[in-house]
Amino acid sequence: MKIKVTQEKLSKALNTISRIAIGKATLPILNNVLIRVSDKKVSLITTNLDMAVLDYLPVSESEDGVITVPAKLLAEFVSNLPKGDNVEISSKDTKVTIKSGKYSSVINGTIADDFPEIPEINEEKSVVYKIGVDEFKNSVNQVIIASSNDLTRPALTGVFFNTYDHTLAIAATDGYRLAEKKIIDKVESEVKAIVPSSSLQEVLRSISDDVDEIEISFNDDLVRFRFGDIEIVSKLIDESFPEYQKLIPKNNNISVTLNREELIRVTKLAALFARSVGGSIVCEAITPDIFSVKSIANEFGENDSRIETTVEQSGKINLNSRFLLDALNALEEPEIKFEFSDRVAPVVLTNQKSDKYTHIVMPLNS
C-alpha cells in the first residue's frame, strides 16, 4: 500500500475522521483508521460501531493495499509536518512508513482483517434527499438544541426526520420543549427515522466551507450523509418518536408579536433574578399594549421588564428562562410570534413571516 498526497489534504481528512476514533473503545482496533487503496481510490475510514466516517482522498500516486494505523497518532504527526509538502505513506506488513521531505517515521499498524466492516446503504432501496449545506446546518442547529441526552429514553436522544404533507421536517424534543423545522418542500418519497444527535453533530463538524450540497440517504436501519469527499454512515434509533404534531397547540387565543432582540434582552434580565427559583420567569400579555417579563427571587429582589406591543387578550404563563432563550436564539427574524392559551398548554414560538420553524416550550407549574 502506498499513497502520495499533499500535507493539507491529508491533515484535513485525518482531523475529520479521527475524532470518533479517539475513544474509549474496548476493542483497540476501533482507535485505528483504516487506509484502503484499490483502483487508485483511497479511502480513510473510522468507526465507533454507532457510526462510521469515510473520507475519499484524492491522491497523486497510489499502490493498492490496506492497513490500519492508530488514528490519533497519525493525525497529530501529519498535522505537525510542514505545510505545502507532499506526504508519502507506505506499508510493508504491519510497518507503516510516513515520509515528508526530511521527516520520516515508522508506526506499527495492525492488519485490516479485524477492522469491522462498515454497513452499506442499499442504493436501490434507499430514500434520498438533497439539501443545501447552509440550510442543513442552520436547520439542524435550530432543532438539535431540543434533543435530550437522557439515555433511558433513546427516542428523544435523536433528531426525527419525517415527511408529511409532502414536506420533510426534522424535529427533536426532550419532553420539556420541542423544535421542528421544515427543511424540504415537495418531497415525493417518505421517511420516518430517528438519527442520533451525536451522529448529526459529527456531520455538522465535518462539513467544510467548500461544500455546497449534502445528500442524505435512508435505509431501514441506516442513514448516510454524503458531502464533498466525506460520507458519514450512522445507525438509526430503532424506537418510535412521539407523535409530536399533536402536541403543538393549534388555536392559541393569545398571540403577540415581539421584537426578538428586545425579548432576548428582557429574558436575560429576568433570568438573573430567576436563578434561585430554577429559572422560572413569568411572561404576561396585558391588554392593550404591554408584554411583561417578570421574575421574583425572594433573597435578591425582583425584576419586571415591559415591551410595548399589541395585545388583544390578556394572559400569563410561567416559563424556564433558559428554554425560552434557547428558542429565541434559534429563531431568525427580527420579529417573532409568541402564542399561548393557558397555563396547561405550551407556548408556541415562531418567526413572524416564515412558518418553517416552530419551537414550543412547556410551561412550569405556577
Partner 1 sequence: MYDVWKNALAEIEQQISSANYSTWFQDTSLISTKDGNVRVNVKNTFYIKQLQNRYYDIIKKALENNNIQVNSLTFEVQATTKHRVRPREIIRNSTSISNHLDDIRSNLKPRNISNSQPTSDTGLNPKYTLDTFIVGSNNDLAFSAAKSIIDSPGTRYNPFFLYGGPGLGKTHLVQAIGNELIKRNPNYRIFYTPISHFYSDFIDSIQNGKGKEFNRKFQKLDCLIIDDFQLIVNKEKSQEEFFNIFNDLYQLNKQIIVTSDRLPNQIKTVDERLASRLTWAGAFDLQLPKFEDKCAILRAKAEQIGADIEPEAIEYIAENVNTNIRDLEGEFSTILLMSEVRGLTPLELIQNGSVNVNRTSKLRPISPKQIIDKVAKYYNLSTTELKSKSRVANIMLARQVAMYLLSKELNLSTNKVALEVNVKDHTTVMHGIKKIDNNLKLNFNLRDQIEDIKEHLYG
**Min. distance of Cβ 277 from partner 1 in angstroms?**
13
CA distance 214 to 149: 26
Q: Is 107 in the site for partner 1 (CB under 8 A)?
A: no
**Min. distance of Cβ 366 from partner 1 in angstroms?**
10
Q: Is 243 in the site for partner 1 (CB under 8 A)?
A: yes
Site string for partner 1, 307-346 (x = CB under 8 A): ----------------------------------xx-xx-
Phi and psi of 269, rounded to 5°?
Answer: -60, -45
Nearer to partner 1, 10 or 236 (CB): 236
* CA–CA distances in Å: residue 255 to residues 258, 259, 307, 336, 349: 10, 13, 14, 10, 10
**Min. distance of Cβ 250 from partner 1 in angstroms?**
7
Count, residues in the chain: 366
Cell of 117: 466492516
Nearer to partner 1, 120 or 289 (CB): 120
Which residues, 262 to 301, sit near partner 1 by CB under 8 A? none
- Please give the single-letter amino acid code of residue 235: K
Peptide bond connecting 288 to the previous residue in cis, omega within 30 degrees of 0: yes
Residue corresponding to grid cell 497523486: 60
Nearer to partner 1, 3 or 172 (CB): 172
Cell of 7: 500535507
Backbone angle region of 145, left / alpha / beta, with phi > 0 → left and psi within -120 to 50 → alpha: alpha
Question: In which element (H, E) is residue 260 found?
Answer: helix 260-274
Q: Cβ(277)–Cβ(296) under 8 Å? A: yes
Choosing from 10, 33, 37, 52, the residue that interacts with partner 1 (CB under 8 A) is 52
Phi and psi of 363, rounded to 5°?
Answer: -75, 160
Provide the 3-class DSSP secondary structure of residue 173.
Answer: strand
Provide the 3-class DSSP secondary structure of residue 169.
Answer: strand
Nearer to partner 1, 25 or 131 (CB): 25
Nearer to partner 1, 120 or 134 (CB): 120
Choosing from 153, 166, 192, 275, the residue that interacts with partner 1 (CB under 8 A) is 153
The span from the first CA to the last CA of the chain, in angstroms, equals: 67
Choosing from 2, 66, 242, 297, the residue that interacts with partner 1 (CB under 8 A) is 242
Q: Is 365 in the site for partner 1 (CB under 8 A)?
A: yes
Which residues, 110 to 149, sit near partner 1 by CB under 8 A? 114, 116-119
Q: Is 238 in the site for partner 1 (CB under 8 A)?
A: yes
Which residues, 169 to 188, sit near partner 1 by CB under 8 A? 173, 175-176
**Min. distance of Cβ 117 from partner 1 in angstroms?**
4
Q: Which residues bind partner 1 (CB under 8 A)?
A: 25-28, 30, 47, 49-52, 114, 116-119, 152-154, 156, 173, 175-176, 221-222, 235, 237-240, 242-243, 246-251, 341-342, 344-345, 362, 365
